[in-house]
Structure 1
Amino acid sequence: MHIFFSGIGGSGIGPLSLIALRMGYDVSGSDKRNSDYIEQLRKNGKVSIVITQSYDSISKIHMQNPIDWFVYSSAVSIEQPNSPEFQFCADHGIMATKRDKLIKHIIDAKQLQLIAVAGSHGKTTTTAMIIWLFKALNIPISYSIGGKISFGDIGTYHPKSTFFVYEADEYDRNFLAFQPYIAAITGTTWDHPDTYPTEHSYIQAFRDFVKQSKYTIVWQSGKEQLDIQINKDTVIIQDDDSHIMLFCLIGEVNRRNAWQAVWVVHIATNISISELIEHVNRFPGVSRRFEQIRPNLYTDYAHTPAKIRGALQVAHEIAGNNVAAVYEGFQNTRQHFMKNDLCHLFDDVKHVYIVPIYLAREDPGLEILSPNTLRTFLNDQTQGNTTPSQLDETLKTQIQQHINSGDLVLGLSAGSSNSLDEWLRRTFELPI
């Protein structure tokens, strides 16, 4: 079977295309730009990828090897509802679906049990920790994760695996397509207002997700927010559980993620909690999750208030009050949604630099919020320590001055090509 992936460079489609490749399917795809996911795919096998999304380009691939299944990302369907690739599939009778249909096909065809990690924050790290534990235990595992890990590919299929570990994104209601064997819910702070216009609709989606799952692992605070029924297949983790202190990982958010990951693998394998804690304490981390670029300079994918608070807590745990932040808001739509939450978000930061918003999946009717405008949403004291900035030599000099003085500088960026994260790496990464 030949599967064509539209949006193959994204964090949802990229891992899935690698899984399909490992399963022996013919894989091709397209995207608007190159990405780390595309480079990883090219290294792992013969994949035909075009950096354009046109009728002609997909036609040429189809002529060389007829396409059986066209899988597209949510971003493609939203940004390009009249995509020429969609038209090509309609003209040639090619099945076109979102990624969830293919994932379900793989799970059903290979009789795998689904471990789904869902929630508003901590999904990627918790998923990575679960994968790390299975690998540490030498238990074959298939998985899809939305971030780069040093101990495996972004996605893989193992023919001897029993479980499929999946970072189940709530965006576009993707996670409701599945009936997990084990569901871990990391948090339920309202997000994605373009999919969930009210907080109630967001919470209700997670309630539905719990109903579709056999086992559920959720924090006490999440259980209260979801108001779910407890039964023998529900594990409620206390927010102040004393076991969290047994983890030697830096950052409260990482210790909490680790404790939930331990519970997931304990239920899946019945291996003792103490052994799992020992293994997860050696977890090496995930790309762009408080990743060090050079001494005193870190980058983090945090782009919601809860994630930003978590990343800043890690920074303060390392450097005390000597923390500077460079903030690149992810999506103008999201900045409008969370602007009131910005007020006290950076209160304990020594200095904040705000660069232009990274634009993606935008509402054209909304005013683009400039760095100067975003600054006005901070409290008066923090505004005095905030500089509207650009990704330029001036910012480079300011960051270098912080580094030289011993401050920890944290870049907050969820964008990809031409983002703050990419600029920091290009500007400051030390030669190997």
Structure 2
Amino acid sequence: MIDYHLIGIGGAGMSVVAELLQARGYEVSGSDQADSATLTRLRNLGITVFAGHKAEQVPPQATVVISTAVKETNPELAYALKMGMPVIHRSEALALAASGLEFIAVAGAHGKTTTSGMLAAAFSALGADPSFAVGGIVSKFGTGARLGAGPFFIAEADESDGSFLNYAPRVALVTNVEPDHLDHYGSEAAFEAAFDKFVSKITAEGALVVCADDPGAQALGNRAVAAGRRVWAYGLENIVEGGENLKISQLELFENKAKFVVEYGVKQIPVELNVTGAHNVLNATGALAVGLELGLDVGTVAESLAAFSGTGRRFEFKGEISQRRLFDDYAHHPSEVQAALKQARIVAGSGKVVVLFQPHLYSRTLNFQAEFASALELADAVVLADIYGAREEPMGGVTSHLIAEHTEKVSFVGALEAAAKVAADLTHAGDICITMGAGSVTGAGELILKAWQNQFE
């Protein structure tokens, strides 16, 4: 008998939940709009999956698991509601999979996938054998989910729809509180209030970890201290008064690694990462703070962070042809774009940086058009694809041209396939090209590589 049926099982978050539920001994099935590599992988694990949504695919007596993106018009959800079947959110199913373990929830407008992956890799390397649920493939494991034998469960906590409020973590790590998802929250104040509520969900014996260099996270930490919460803070520049503070110093960034020292009281903790970028240094220090809170040996945690080699679609190397290198990045918020392009500058060296950017959501493009343009100024050449609407319907007058109007670096605005050709042509020997965005832009990488290959056959 099927215990859980997941609608949209091919999504990054849903597929993780499916794997974890199966690993805990439940029978799992699910469906997605179209077949994919993810569905193939789930089939190979013995999970029953369907391409396409049909009411008859919903098993009797199953609990149906959905995300916010699943509408009541979906034939499977409509059937489940009609029949009075139990329907729960993906986050509730994840909390069920984590029952009985020390829950570590990583939240923030950006950086949570990488930080969750760092925690999973580091804790595994030091022998803690954690369970984890990360919304991306952790390179070290080739998956975003695993049920380990250890006492810790590490989860990426999604704030986009407020579902992170379904967790009661032992440790909550907040990378930043930078307004996003205003289509859901309606205002910056409501977005920030959700993080205050998230902090209130931390268990009585638990603690909050924040990045003090982010003004929103620092303010969250300050409010938590005032409320009597235990707070850890980390940063290159700032601290949280009344918290346990980890200060980053002696930072050196190289093409494929980073070296720095974490100052904690009188301790000087050397750390070396096998990824670069100041944002990754911050993420790693947050992971180190979690280890300290959980009573792990700080030196061992620091050494174990070297086990992290990246996550899928986070500045992921995709190929090189004739001294032209291609990377793929999930960045879809101005701060993420800026961080990725700062990393690109280090990796490119004396070469140029060409970015093919596909904006994600009409509302986000409208709200942050100038900020996107400012972040994209870090590239040498910008190619803009049409907006990937995802869950949103088109908005009158809202196109990628809104971003283009704020910068002179844009070479093209339009269809993704044509944009890929332009990006390929703009990339020369010694340069790097990045496909960037949370939509279908990752598929443009194959077009770029093929174009480069054709040039030199």
Question: Normalised by the size of structure 2, how large is the TM-score?
Answer: 0.84
- Distance in 1, matches of 2:103 and 2:250, equals 26
Shift of 1:244: 7.2
Quote the residue 1:56 is aligned against. 56
Task: Provide Cα deviations, 1:55-103, integer angstroms capped at 9, x if missing partner.
Answer: 2333xxx2xxx34211111111xxx223222232134332111112222
Letter in 2 for 1:315: A
Matched, 1:73 2:88: no
- Distance in 2, matches of 1:361 and 1:232, equals 37
- Is the 8 Å Cα contact of residues 262 and 276 (structure 1) preserved in structure 2? yes
Quote the residue 1:103 is aligned against. 94
Quote the residue 1:22 is aligned against. 23
- Is the 8 Å Cα contact of residues 305 and 345 (structure 1) preserved in structure 2? yes
- Distance in 1, matches of 2:313 and 2:373, equals 25
Name structure 1 gaps, 5 residues minimum: none
- Distance in 1, matches of 2:171 and 2:438, equals 28
Task: Provide Cα deviations, 1:348-369, integer angstroms capped at 9, x if missing partner.
Answer: 32111011111211045x2263
Matched, 1:413 2:408: no
- Residues 395, 98 of structure 1: alpha-carbon distance in 2 compared, 3 angstrom cutoff: closer
- Residues 396, 173 of structure 1: alpha-carbon distance in 2 compared, 3 angstrom cutoff: closer
Quote the residue 1:293 is aligned against. 318
Task: Provide Cα deviations, 1:320-374, integer angstroms capped at 9, x if missing partner.
Answer: 471111110111222112113234222232111011111211045x226334343
Deviates more, 1:90-99 or 1:367-376: 367-376
Quote the residue 2:255 is aligned against. none
Shift of 1:16: 0.3
- Is the 8 Å Cα contact of residues 121 and 308 (structure 2) preserved in structure 1? yes
Shift of 1:263: 1.4
Question: Normalised by the size of structure 1, how large is the TM-score?
Answer: 0.88
Quote the residue 2:224 is aligned against. 229
Deviates more, 1:4-13 or 1:91-100: 91-100
Name structure 2 gaps, 5 residues minimum: 238-246, 252-259, 261-271
- Residues 10, 99 of structure 1: alpha-carbon distance in 2 compared, 3 angstrom cutoff: same
Higher fraction of helix: 1
Q: 2:74 aligns with which of 46, 58, 83?
A: 83
Shift of 1:269: 4.1
- Residues 189, 425 of structure 1: alpha-carbon distance in 2 compared, 3 angstrom cutoff: same
Quote the residue 2:164 is aligned against. 175
- Residues 271, 333 of structure 1: alpha-carbon distance in 2 compared, 3 angstrom cutoff: same
Task: Provide Cα deviations, 1:272-306, integer angstroms capped at 9, x if missing partner.
Answer: 2x322222134211110001111321110000001
Shift of 1:223: 4.3
Quote the residue 1:361 is aligned against. 391
Matched, 1:157 2:147: yes
- Is the 8 Å Cα contact of residues 333 and 363 (structure 1) preserved in structure 2? no
User: Residues 315-326 of structure 1: matches in 2 within 5 Å?
Assistant: 315-320=344-349, 322-326=352-356
Quote the residue 1:219 is aligned against. 211
- Distance in 1, matches of 2:162 and 2:419, equals 38
Quote the residue 1:195 is aligned against. 184
Letter in 2 for 1:52: G
- Is the 8 Å Cα contact of residues 327 and 435 (structure 2) preserved in structure 1? yes
SS of 2:53's equivalent?
Answer: coil
Quote the residue 2:335 is aligned against. 306
Letter in 2 for 1:242: I
Quote the residue 1:2 is aligned against. 3
Q: 2:415 aligns with which of 377, 380, 390?
A: 390
Task: Provide Cα deviations, 1:358-417, integer angstroms capped at 9, x if missing partner.
Answer: 1211045x22633434311x23x43xx43224333x5455433444332211111211xx
SS of 2:137's equivalent?
Answer: coil
- Is the 8 Å Cα contact of residues 402 and 408 (structure 1) preserved in structure 2? no
SS of 1:281's equivalent?
Answer: helix
Quote the residue 2:303 is aligned against. 278
- Distance in 1, matches of 2:154 and 2:117, equals 9
SS of 2:185's equivalent?
Answer: coil
- Residues 140, 282 of structure 1: alpha-carbon distance in 2 compared, 3 angstrom cutoff: closer
- Distance in 1, matches of 2:249 and 2:19, equals 36
- Residues 286, 55 of structure 1: alpha-carbon distance in 2 compared, 3 angstrom cutoff: same
- Is the 8 Å Cα contact of residues 243 and 259 (structure 1) preserved in structure 2? no
- Is the 8 Å Cα contact of residues 258 and 280 (structure 1) preserved in structure 2? yes
Q: 1:267 aligns with which of 293, 313, 336?
A: 293
- Is the 8 Å Cα contact of residues 356 and 434 (structure 2) preserved in structure 1? yes
Output the aligned Cα RMSD: 2.2
Higher fraction of strand: 2
- Distance in 2, matches of 1:281 and 1:228, equals 33
Quote the residue 1:337 is aligned against. 367
Quote the residue 2:33 is aligned against. 32
Shift of 1:25: 1.0
SS of 1:292's equivalent?
Answer: strand
- Distance in 2, matches of 1:135 and 1:253, equals 22
- Distance in 1, matches of 2:107 and 2:400, equals 32
SS of 2:73's equivalent?
Answer: coil
Shift of 1:176: 0.8
Q: 2:446 aligns with which of 415, 421, 425?
A: 425
SS of 2:136's equivalent?
Answer: coil
Shift of 1:43: 2.3
Quote the residue 1:400 is aligned against. 424
- Residues 298, 89 of structure 1: alpha-carbon distance in 2 compared, 3 angstrom cutoff: same
SS of 1:345's equivalent?
Answer: helix
- Distance in 1, matches of 2:332 and 2:288, equals 26
Task: Provide Cα deviations, 1:150-172, integer angstroms capped at 9, x if missing partner.
Answer: 222221223x3211111000011
Letter in 1 for 2:282: R
Letter in 1 for 2:378: D
SS of 1:314's equivalent?
Answer: helix
- Distance in 1, matches of 2:95 and 2:192, equals 24
- Is the 8 Å Cα contact of residues 4 and 67 (structure 1) preserved in structure 2? no
Letter in 2 for 1:237: Y
